[in-house]
Amino acid sequence: MQVSTITQSTLTAESESDASRGEEPLVVRWVFPQPALEPTWLVESKTTFGRDPGSSVLLDSDYVSRQHAVVTRSGQLHIASDLSSKNGIVVNGRVVRETSLSPGDIIRFGNFVGVCLRAPMGADLSSKTLAPGIFGGRALVAAFEHMLELARTDLPVVLVGETGTGKERFARALHDASARRGPFRAVNCSVYSKAMAAAELFGYRKGAFTGAENANQGHIRAAEGGSLLLDELPELAPDVQAMLLRALENREILPLGESRPVPVDVRFLSAAQTPLGAAVDAGALRSDLRARLEGGVVTLPPLRDCRDVVIEMFLSLFELHAGRRPELRTGAAERLCLHDWPLNVRELDTVVRRLSAKSSEHALDRDAIEQALGASTEEPRGPRSGAPRSAEGRTNRTKETYRPEEVAALVAAIGRYDGNLTKAASELGIARTKAYRMLRASKKSKPPPAG
């Protein structure tokens, strides 16, 4: 298969103007068939797709018509149109004649499946293994690089991400990348009762309370010289949070039953599914403890924001569990990309285990994926779920609004990071795509150049 190369020299005057405003162009990262085509940056006024050698992007397949589709660009608006192709064009699981394209959209031209993203011209969109158990593409790489920057400091760090996004693995990678030579330990604060949390974290001497038949150094002292990850931190009782605050401020703890504090050298890491500010607002976390813990914030993207690497992750996990890579049919590949993955990588791994447990050597089709997902027979919702489309296939979206203080906080963070939107969004605990929407909806600022 071949694909034409779109270079920087082919940019139109209009796209150069967009670039000068710091707006990243739309790009299609092809994800199927494997090995995938090189990404297609949609920077020309018209980009044609088909089997015809004269097409901007050559899709060499019998499932693709000679002149299959065209994407017409006007500024930041991209319209995909079917050129009366035999197998049509499909966007987010629906056959359309014409529709606008946005980041996160899943397109299928014939048997070629791609994911729309925003990225600078020539950016590295490849997926890679970043650390043991951490695999991802551009979105995860940005979070990982921010984590590495923090690893070189001695600041406490909060890892924010939905369940199954790999917060503990990120925390371990942060510890490994730091200069700390002590152990890495992780503790789930929600598993301890109010009475036992202080004892398990801070330790106790023999006879400190009924049942304390032996002394226990506790999790904090067990991580001496290393790092301690506290998961589900807001589950701790207020008095235990006060003890933890003292440990952070004074670098010492008072084990139960002891009269003298014990100095400790531990780096505290925290994991949460939502920003700690939400727990403070809900009255579940002390605001002064939050201030001490948030030396740095790393936000892990959910899998639904990383659809461009789902197929590669699926194939890699399948090979890990079954010792082989399966053959995928187009419908299966598209369905994997369309699923929202509410439990993220953990759910993907479960689906792979279900499928790899079967001895069948047949190619996996859409039905096989549906069964493994345990999904209903509903039409896939995809990235634009619930939004009605017109006869031309365009989406009628509800306009998003944001509080002025939210936008002001984002603009201030962008300034602190010299225009780096990714780092600014990570600090505020929001997705990079949401940061873009906030800036556009506010009409007060333009997205800065990618840093």
Domain topology for 138-299: Rossmann fold (3.40.50)
Q: What is the mean pLDDT of the chain?
A: 84
Predicted confidence band at 12 (pLDDT cuts at 50, 70, 90)? very low
Predicted confidence band at 429 (pLDDT cuts at 50, 70, 90)? low
Predicted confidence band at 209 (pLDDT cuts at 50, 70, 90)? low
Q: Which residue has the tokens 């190369």?
A: 5
Q: Report how far apart, in Å, the C-alpha atoms of 437 and of each of 65, 134, 320, 440 are.
A: 36, 28, 38, 5
Q: Report how far apart, in Å, the C-alpha atoms of 254 and of each of 39, 232, 241, 246 are.
A: 57, 22, 13, 9
Q: Which residue has the tokens 């202080």?
A: 198
Q: What's the average model confidence in pLDDT over 387-414?
A: 54
Q: What is the largest CA-CA distance in the chain?
A: 83
Domains of the chain by residue range: 8-124, 138-299, 404-442
The interaxial angle of helices 330-338 and 366-373, nearest 10 deg, is 30
Q: Which residue has the tokens 């991400």?
A: 161
Q: Which residue has the tokens 């017409």?
A: 72
Question: How much is the pTM?
Answer: 0.75
Residue 126: which of 138, 139, 118, 144 has the closest Cα? Answer: 138
Residue type, 14: E
The 3-state secondary structure of 211-222 reads CCCCCECHHHHH
Winning range, highest mean pLDDT, from 84-88, 309-313, 362-366: 309-313
What burial class does residue 55 get, using C-beta atoms within 10 Å of its C-beta: 0-12 exposed, 13-18 middle, 19+ buried?
buried
Interval 280-331: pLDDT, tens? 999 999 999 999 999 999 999 999 999 999 999 999 999 999 999 999 999 9
pLDDT at residue 329, as a whole number: 95
Task: Give the ranges where 11-137 is alpha helix by DSSP (H).
Answer: 13-20
Predicted confidence band at 121 (pLDDT cuts at 50, 70, 90)? very high
159 within 8 A of 273, measured Cβ to Cβ:
no
What CA–CA distance (Å, rounded) separates 6 from 15? Answer: 13
Domain topology for 8-124: Tumour Suppressor Smad4 (2.60.200)
pLDDT at residue 414, as a whole number: 75
75 within 8 A of 369, measured Cβ to Cβ:
no
Strands 57-58 and 227-231: unpaired
pLDDT at residue 358, as a whole number: 81
Q: What's the average model confidence in pLDDT over 71-81?
A: 93
Name the β-bridge partners of 389.
395
The tokens describing 181, both together, are: 């030579």
What DSSP character marks residue 64?
S
Dihedrals φ, ψ of 249, to 5°? Answer: -80, -40
Residues with Cβ within 8 Å of residue 410, at least 6 apart in sequence: 424, 425, 428, 430, 435, 438, 439
Q: Which SS3 state, helix, strand or coil, does residue 228 take?
A: strand
Residues with Cβ within 8 Å of residue 281, at least 6 apart in sequence: none
Percent of the chain with pLDDT over 90: 65
266 within 8 A of 228, measured Cβ to Cβ:
yes
What burial class does residue 381 get, using C-beta atoms within 10 Å of its C-beta: 0-12 exposed, 13-18 middle, 19+ buried?
middle
Residues with Cβ within 8 Å of residue 190, at least 6 apart in sequence: 231, 232, 235
Interval 90-106: pLDDT, tens? 999 999 999 999 999 99
Q: What's the average model confidence in pLDDT over 207-231?
A: 83
